[in-house]
Amino acid sequence: MAKITLNLISGRTIHQGVAMEGGKEKDLYRKAAGIIEMDDSDFKKLGCWKNTNVRVTSPYGTVIVKAQETSQGPHPGVGFIPMGPWANQIVNPNTYSTGMPTFKGVPVEVEVAMDQPIILGVELVQKACRGEL
């Protein structure tokens, strides 16, 4: 199966904001933040349909999210996961002595993982902390 390399950034979307205030244990939060927004050209390179579950892996971890066509593009080569527990499984925790982790600019690999589930936000963090992922 094909793999592509992207430069990952994370950040706010209004959908993530609304879902977060509506309850991080809810399904809406997973739908809003358990996603990766990718450019159309990157979908073609990966060879997968839009709205397919994918595994995103960085040197710091791995996570399953839904690949969606970006609404704020084009941005070929750049992947965007809204801020939240899914993005934070794979961001670079190094602060380089500034106190600030490197949330933007993380090299990641994306591959299709159609049969893998996207875990709810609170559960994802609990499982990660218990070492069950």
Partner 1 sequence: MTKTVTDVVCPFCGTLCDDLEVSVTDDGKQILDVYNACAIGAEKFLHSQAKDRITRPRLQQPDGTWKDISYDEAADYTAKMLAGAKKPLMYGWSSVNCEAQSVGNEIAETCRACVDNTAAVCHGTTLIAVQDIGLPTCTLGEVKNRADTIIFWGCNPCHAHPRHMSRYSIFPRGFFTGKGHKSRKLVVVDPRVTDTAKMADMHLQVTQGQDYELLNAFRVAIRNEWLPDVVAGIPKEKIIEAVTMMKAGRFGIIFFGMGVTQSLGKNHNIDEAIAVTKDLNEYTKFSIMPMRGHYNVTGSGEVLAWQFGYPYSVDLTRGFPRYNPGDTSSIDLLNRGEIDAAFVIGSDPGAHFPISAVKKISQVNSVCVDPHITPTSGVSKLHVPVAFNGVETGGNAYRMDNVPIDCRKVVDAPEGMLTDEQFLVMVRDRVKKLKGVA
Interacting residues with partner 1 (CB under 8 A): 7, 9, 11-14, 17-18, 20-25, 60-61, 70-75, 78, 80, 83-85, 88-89, 91-93, 95-105, 121-126, 128-130
What's the helix, strand, coil split of the chain in %, to 5?
25, 30, 40
* Tokens 């982790």 found at: 101
Q: Which is nearer to partner 1, 37 or 46 (CB)?
A: 37
Amino acid at 58: S
Question: CA 105 to CA 95: how far, in whole Å?
Answer: 13
Closest separation between CB of residue 112 and partner 1, Å?
23
15: tokens are 């959908």
Nearer to partner 1, 112 or 121 (CB): 121
* Shortest distance, position 12 Cβ to partner 1, whole Å: 4
Question: What is the closest distance, in whole angstroms, from the C-beta atom of residue 1 to partner 1 in the complex?
Answer: 25
Token pair for 23: 């309850």
